[in-house]
């Protein structure tokens, strides 16, 4: 796979750093705290499935950021740039619009 802007792939370091920061916060136990007189209602034996689900939004966020970075780098299938014939594209566009009910103004092309 080739990219239009391969230097932008260095931005993929950002999601990796965010994952490291997230793991560091989990290990260090840096969570918001609340003082209560008794913690009996909140004690859970072992890890519940719901406790593991709290990581899913972060994973989706990292995945979305990574995909945006890849999209900005503009992947393409070949190494050579392909020239687009603008006149041919304009003719195809006009044929499509002639077949529809709405006709664009003739001055737009």
The pTM for the full model equals 0.59
- pLDDT number for residue 44: 61
pLDDT at 103: 56
Q: Can you tell me the distance from the alpha carbon of 24 to that of 71, in angstroms, rounded to the nearest whole number?
A: 29
Q: Are 105 and 38 in contact (CB under 8 A)?
A: no
Question: What ranges make up the beta strands (E) of the chain?
Answer: 2-3, 75-76
Q: Give residue 18's pLDDT.
A: 96
> In this model, does residue 13 exceed pLDDT 70?
yes
How far is residue 41's CA from residue 22's CA, in Å, rounded to a whole number?
27
Q: Give 53's pLDDT tier (boundaries 50, 70, 90).
A: confident
CA distances from residue 76 to 27, 79, 82, 104 in whole angstroms, order as listed: 40, 8, 10, 32
């Amino acid at each position: 796979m080739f990219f239009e802007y391969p230097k932008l792939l260095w931005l993929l370091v950002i999601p990796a750093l965010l994952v490291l920061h997230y793991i560091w916060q989990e290990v260090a136990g840096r969570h918001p705290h609340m003082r209560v007189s008794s913690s009996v209602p909140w004690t859970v034996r072992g890890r519940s499935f719901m406790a593991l689900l709290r990581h899913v939004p972060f994973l989706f966020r990292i995945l979305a950021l990574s995909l945006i970075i890849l999209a900005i780098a503009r992947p393409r299938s070949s190494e050579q740039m392909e020239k687009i014939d603008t006149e041919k594209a304009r003719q195809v566009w006009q044929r499509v619009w002639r077949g529809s009910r709405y006709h664009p103004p003739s001055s737009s092309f």
